[in-house]
Structure 1
Amino acid sequence: MYETFDQIADDIAGRLEEAANSRHSPMHTPVVATRDADARVMVLRAYDRATRTLRFHTDARSLKCDVIGEGAPVGVLLYDQAAKIQLRCRGTGRIERDGPIADAAWEASTTFARRCYLGDGPGTEVEQPSSGLPEWVEGRQPTEEEVAPAREHFAVLLVELAVVDWFFLSNDGHRRAVIDMVTRVGRWITP
């Protein structure tokens, strides 16, 4: 089934597109790791095959935005248990707070999703369990006007993929390949 590097590169791109477009995809919520050895689960919002770029939404006040800034190494781990395929992606991340990509991502989001950026910044210490959201917005969908102030806290994390380590688990024998996403050149390695 997976005999050539082109097949594997196409499989990777197809899985990333599906993960971004379907919240039911097992790869929709990958683990994203930054150079400070911090890792977190994030929702994959888009994958651009032409530029090999993953897009995530994030709070501009989060620590990862400072760590990544305008360019830093980022790892993204995705796993499809049913297909038995793991993707270990490595690339360069950058945070965009303003500009056409961030603006379009904000506009495409629902007001319910935008309300997440109304609250306290991620990691704020609180006295009791809390979503961090203002009480007036808890449990309801706010209006466009009500979420407008949250735009200053919204950002996108873009990860331009350089290399993907593709791992297929099989009773017939596992297969593993490393694909350079720029050149589509690959090499087989032992699992």
Structure 2
Amino acid sequence: MNEVFQSLDMVLADAAAHLQRAARDRRSPMHVPVVGTADGDLRMMVLRDCAPDLGLLRFHTDARSAKAGVIADGAPVSVLAFDPEAKLQLRLRGMGRIEQQGPVADAAWAAATPYARRCYLAEAGPGTPADGPCSGLPTEVEGAKPDEAQLLPARDNFAVLLIEPERIDWLYLAHNGHRRAQFARGQDGWQGAWVVP
């Protein structure tokens, strides 16, 4: 077994390192984990940020999306990330919330590229019926880099999904025997235990 997985502290540090790398490296296999909401819906979302202590994950979303309505000011959310090369699966559960305004949403909007912000120019919200295949974007920005003036209306549709993980299930797949640990976050931080895979 990998030496890094000999203690629960090392396991938690490894999980944090994987998710922090995923947030800044789009080549990371965990960069686009599966996010689930309480209504049973699943979708893949780009992980934009992960706190070093695994206390907060940030994703971007359209404020008009169904998930934004389901999560709103607070609802259970789950995240599933997998790295096949590292043979590592992470499952996180916690409370999510949507923030459309405020310092976190403003900073995320400011840091996003014009192409990323362009997505929020869609004339109708995600899931709106269409007459045929379409991007939903205005013709003048489809396939083009919009300027700052063109992007102004998009800010009203942009929001962040913030998830505060409360539980982590870590699974390492190994031919000589898998290893699994579970963590719960309390007032004193993360507490972990080894469990049978």
TM-score normalised to structure 1 length: 0.97
User: Would the aligned equivalents of 1:9 and 1:181 in 2 still touch at CA under 8 Å?
Assistant: no
- The residue number in structure 2 matching 1:97 is 100
Q: Which amino acid aligns with 1:163?
A: R
2:66 equivalent among 63, 73, 98: 63
- The residue number in structure 1 matching 2:193 is 187
- The residue number in structure 1 matching 2:76 is 73
1:136 aligned onto 2:147: no
Question: What is the RMSD of the two structures over their aligned residues, measured on CA atoms?
Answer: 1.0
State the SS of the aligned residue for 1:76: strand
- The residue number in structure 2 matching 1:49 is 52
CA shift, 1:174, in A, is 0.2
Measure, in 2, the Cα distance between the counterparts of 1:25 and 1:10.
17
Q: Give ranges in structure 2 of 5+ residues lacking alignment.
A: none
CA shift, 1:179, in A, is 1.3
- The residue number in structure 2 matching 1:4 is 7
- The residue number in structure 1 matching 2:173 is 169
Q: Deviation per CA, 1:45-68, whole angstroms, max 9, x where unpaired? A: 001124610000000000111110
CA shift, 1:188, in A, is 1.3
User: Would the aligned equivalents of 1:5 and 1:184 in 2 still touch at CA under 8 Å?
Assistant: no
Q: Deviation per CA, 1:116-153, whole angstroms, max 9, x where unpaired? A: 01112100100110011111111110000100111000
Q: Which amino acid aligns with 1:67?
A: V
Q: Which amino acid aligns with 1:115?
A: R
Q: Deviation per CA, 1:36-85, whole angstroms, max 9, x where unpaired? A: 00000000000112461000000000011111011111000000000100
- The residue number in structure 1 matching 2:150 is 146
Identity %: 53
- The residue number in structure 2 matching 1:32 is 35
User: Would the aligned equivalents of 2:16 and 2:53 in 1 still touch at CA under 8 Å?
Assistant: no
- The residue number in structure 2 matching 1:84 is 87
Number of aligned residue pairs: 191
Q: Give ranges in structure 1 of 5+ residues lacking alignment.
A: none
User: Would the aligned equivalents of 1:111 and 1:142 in 2 still touch at CA under 8 Å?
Assistant: yes
TM-score normalised to structure 2 length: 0.95
Measure, in 2, the Cα distance between the counterparts of 1:148 and 1:57.
17
Q: Which amino acid aligns with 2:191?
A: V
Q: Which amino acid aligns with 1:57?
A: H
Change (3 A) 1:81 1:51: closer
State the SS of the aligned residue for 2:48: strand
